Amino acid sequence: MSAAAFIECFSSQGYVVVRGLVPAGRVAMVRDHLDRRAAQGALRMQGDAQVPGAPSAHGDALLDTLMEELRPAVEFCTGLKLFPTYSYARIYRHGDELKPHHDRAACEISLSLNLGQVPADQPWALYVEGRDGAAANCLLMPGDVLLYRGIDLTHWREPYAGQSLVQVFLHYVDQNGPHKGEKFDRRAALGDPLVMQ
């Protein structure tokens, strides 16, 4: 798809799926890194308010690096100049679900990246309600991403029937938009500790 086609889709619907954005080797490296951290108990193992019990990580150095690596591609697909805000990862387990929600201001432009699931051939639907009110059922394989306006569009997942899924979320804001003050998630720089407000 051309840049113009990606931008038109993103502009009109508020989301676009990009197949194979992240190469298989990079996907495997990041997934293995998160699996290793989970095995060591070095993730937030109790989960978060959205998915209690699902191991998660905020601002992991490798994920922040990936966020910066992918920023030019996200700008290409959205037609926007972006500031990074924060990275996040979650390891979903059987039965986990994500209730319909909108994200906070730091998630103006969000990227959801599949790093792999078990069973490998059964992607877990990520639903997003487009600007036209129609819900899209996005089936992402490893390396595929959903780019979407996280603060504008309702998105969710039904209870997970698989065994596990490793997902990364990378968030950005428009450098020329109303949420540009959310740059680095209001930290001095990427890598600084998160201060909840």
The CATH code for residues 3-175 is: 2.60.120.620
User: Can you spell out the DSSP letters for 75-141?
Assistant: HHHH---EEEEEEEEEEEETT--EEEE---GGGSEEEEEEEEEESTT-PPPEEEE-TTSPEEEE-PP
Global pTM value? 0.95
Q: Is 160 left (phi over 0), alpha (psi -120 to 50) or beta?
A: beta
Q: Binning pLDDT at 50, 70 and 90, where does residue 177 land?
A: very high
Q: Helix or strand or coil: residue 7?
A: helix
Q: With cut-offs at 50, 70 and 90, classify the pLDDT of residue 174.
A: very high
CA distances (Å), origin 144, targets 44, 123, 175, 189: 25, 11, 25, 28
CA distances from 10 to 99, 109, 152 (A): 23, 10, 12
Tokens standing for 17?
Answer: 């799926």
- In the sheet where 155-157 sits, what is the strand order? 98-101, 155-157, 126-129, 135-138
Residue-wise pLDDT tens digits, 100-153: 999 999 999 999 999 999 999 999 999 999 999 999 999 999 999 999 999 999
Q: Which of 67-71, 171-175, 193-197 is least confident?
A: 193-197
Mean pLDDT of 51-75: 96
Q: Which residue has the higher pLDDT, 19 or 190?
A: 19
- In this prediction, residue 195 carries a pLDDT of 62
How high is the pLDDT of residue 196? 55
